[in-house]
């Protein structure tokens, strides 16, 4: 009797979990369905030109064609490489600057005001300066990504070094630890959770939301800049609408 009751309770729990999952999926999909329906209605009413407000089936057809032609995978791979290069550069430089700020009062007094001023500025605001200094190309894009992504990493590394307890430092010094051992066995392990948190938040921000490499404006396509690029009018560049919609 008890076994039957337990089986009934387990079945009810599984059914409740399934219903909750379906409810969450429906709730999350509802805004997309509503927006898609409104988009289709407006597109078929021809209120706006089809070039600026195409139907969803036309968007899906172009998406499939560009994917099969290799245009979208090409740009997606390039974007991923820029993000990875910029993130790696930001992680190395940001962790180094943050640790130096945490260990040196002079570096903290000199750099913290600059970081406090530069961090709240949107990343796109730096794009004209980077374009002016380095010109169009992948180098400028990677530097822009690295510069914007370095601020949270610097702040987290500095906070992590500052969060190391003084009693740990004094205990290690009392046991004869020199500066290198103190950094390797006390400072770095104590600051590592903050550093990893900063790097993880930056990577999620770059991957899931805005990234400068997607919004980079120079009019030199990845194919147009090479000698082997086809020169017909169907070749997409970064200034064409097809490339602007690609990752």
**Domain positions in the chain:** 2-54, 72-208
Q: Check residues 96 and 178 and name the one with the higher pLDDT.
A: 96
User: What is the model's pLDDT at position 15?
Assistant: 57
| Averaged pLDDT, 152-166 | 89
User: What is the model's pLDDT at position 93?
Assistant: 92
Instruction: Give the Cα separation of 231 and 63 in Å (integer).
Output: 22
Residue 210 pLDDT level (bands cut at 50, 70, 90): very low
Q: Which residues 6+ apart lie within 8 Å of 236 measured at CB?
A: 66, 71, 221, 223, 242, 243, 246
Show the tokens assigned to 208: 């899931």
User: What is the model's pLDDT at position 243?
Assistant: 37
Residues 53-91 pLDDT 10s: 888 888 888 889 988 988 888 888 888 888 889 899 999
Please state which CATH number belongs to domain 72-208: 1.10.3720.10
| Averaged pLDDT, 101-126 | 87
Residues 15-30 pLDDT 10s: 555 667 778 888 888 8
Give 54-63 contacts, CB < 8 A, sequence gap 24+. 62/242
């Amino acid at each position: 009797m008890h076994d039957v009751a337990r089986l009934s309770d387990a079945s009810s729990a599984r059914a409740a979990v399934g219903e909750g999952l379906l409810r969450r999926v429906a709730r999350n999909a509802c805004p997309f369905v509503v927006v898609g329906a409104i988009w289709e209605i407006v597109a078929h009413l021809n209120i706006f030109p089809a070039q600026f407000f195409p139907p969803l089936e036309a968007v899906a057809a172009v998406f499939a064609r560009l994917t099969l032609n290799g245009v979208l995978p090409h740009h997606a791979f390039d974007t991923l490489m820029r993000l990875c290069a910029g993130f790696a550069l930001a992680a190395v430089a940001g962790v180094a600057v943050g640790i130096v700020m945490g260990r040196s009062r002079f570096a903290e007094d000199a750099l913290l005001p600059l970081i406090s001023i530069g961090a709240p500025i949107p990343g796109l605001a730096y794009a004209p300066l980077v374009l002016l200094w380095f010109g169009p190309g992948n180098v400028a894009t990677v530097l822009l990504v690295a510069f914007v992504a370095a601020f949270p990493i610097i702040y987290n590394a500095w906070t992590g070094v500052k969060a190391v307890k003084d009693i740990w430092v004094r205990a290690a010094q009392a046991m004869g630890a020199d500066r290198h051992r103190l950094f390797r066995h006390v400072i770095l392990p104590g600051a590592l959770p903050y550093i990893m948190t900063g790097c993880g938040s930056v990577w999620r921000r770059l991957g899931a939301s805005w990234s400068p490499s997607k919004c980079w404006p120079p009019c030199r396509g990845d194919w147009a800049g090479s000698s082997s690029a086809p020169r017909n009018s169907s070749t997409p560049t970064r200034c064409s609408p097809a490339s602007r919609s690609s990752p």
